[in-house]
Amino acid sequence: MIPYFNKFTKKIKTLESLATTTERKILKLWEGLGYYRRAKNLLSTARVLVNDKQSKLPQNLDELKKLPGIGDYTANVLLALIYNQPRLGLDGNVKRVFSRIFNVPEKKINFKLFIEKNKKNLFYLNRNSDFVEAMMEFGALICKPKEPLCNVCPINKICKFYKSGKNTKLVSKIKKNKKSYNIFCYLNKKKQIGLTKKNDLGFLKEYNLPIMRENAHKEKIKNWNFLCNYKNSISNKRLDINLYYKFSNKIPKDLNWHSIHNNKEFLPTFTKKIIRQVENLY
C-alpha cells in the first residue's frame, strides 16, 4: 500500500490537482490495488469539493454522506480523524474488540446505541482522531481475528473474553461467495489479446477483460483450447476460473486488441493475471 500511496501523492500533490486529473490517469496510478470504484469515487469527490465546497470537507455527517463513495463508516472515520469529533468507525476490527471485551457475540451488540450511551467514557481524552485510528489498529494487530495477543494486551485485565479462557469463537466468519467462470481469450501472432469493457459482470464491470461467462450450467466448450484452471479471489468472491484461448486475426466487434506487453492502458490485476497465463503460449 505505501509505495502506491507515495507514487500517487508524488504525482498528485493537492486536492485541486486531483480534481483536474483525468480518470484514466487516476486508474493507471491505482492499477494493482483493486477496488477501482474507490479511485473513481475519490476523483468524483475531489471534483465536488473543489467546485462546490471551496475545497473544504463538510463537518457534518449527513453532508459528508452525500459525497460519492462515502458511507456511514467512512464519514464517521473522516470526522474523527480530520475534525477530532467523538466518533468511531465500526469496521470488523472495532466490532471484534468490543465483542471480546464484553464476551458477547457481535450480532447481539447494538453498536450505535452502545457508542451513544458511552460517549463520555469512550471519548473522555478528547483525542478522538488518535482514538479512532488506535481502535482500528488495535483490532488489526493485537486483538486479531485468529490468535489474539492476549498475553501482551494492555487491557486484558478488563477483557471478559480473556478471563473466560475461551478460544476465538466470537469472530463472525465472512463467507466467500464461490462462483465458476469461463474466460475466452482471443490471441494473435502480434502478441495481442482481445479485451472488452462490455462484460456484464457487476464486479469489474466497465474494465478491460477478455470475454467472460459464468459457468453456472457447466456449458460444453467447443472450438476453444483449454489453457488452465485457477482460483482468484476478489473482495468477498472466490472465483474458479477455466481459461480458454484461440489464435485468430479476427475478433468480435465489441473486442479491441491490446498488447500483452507494455500495455499503457489501465488494466485491473484480474486481467493482468490472465495475461500472465497466456504469455506462456508465446
Binding site for ligand SF4 (CB under 6 A): 97, 100-101, 142-143, 148-150, 153, 155-156, 159, 161-162
Quick one: 215 exposed, middle or buried, by C-beta within 10 A (0-12, 13-18, 19+)? middle
Q: What is the 3-state secondary structure (H, E, C) of 170-200?
A: CCCCCCCEEEEEEEEEEEECCCEEEEECCCC
Residue closer to ligand SF4 (CB basis): 25 or 163 = 163
Nearer to ligand SF4, 114 or 224 (CB): 114
Please, which residue, 150 or 227, has the CB nearer to ligand SF4?
150
Report the nearest approach of ligand SF4 to the CB of residue 168 (Å): 8
- Residue in 11, 46, 14 with CA at minimum distance from that of residue 28: 11
CA dist list (Å): 169 to 122, 139, 146, 165: 26, 16, 9, 11
Report the nearest approach of ligand SF4 to the CB of residue 114 (Å). Answer: 16
Question: From CA 158, how far away is CA 202, in angstroms rounded?
Answer: 45
CB closer to ligand SF4 out of 70 and 97: 97
Q: Which is nearer to ligand SF4, 144 or 213 (CB)?
A: 144
Minimum distance from CB of 88 to ligand SF4 (Å)? Answer: 15
Q: How far is CA 74 from the centre of its chain?
A: 13
- Write out the three cell numbers for 238: 472466490
Least spacing, CB of residue 150 vs ligand SF4, in Å: 3
How many angstroms separate the Cα of 7 from the Cα of each of 23, 74, 96, 274?
A: 16, 23, 33, 25
To ligand SF4, the closest distance from the beta carbon of 230 in angstroms equals 36
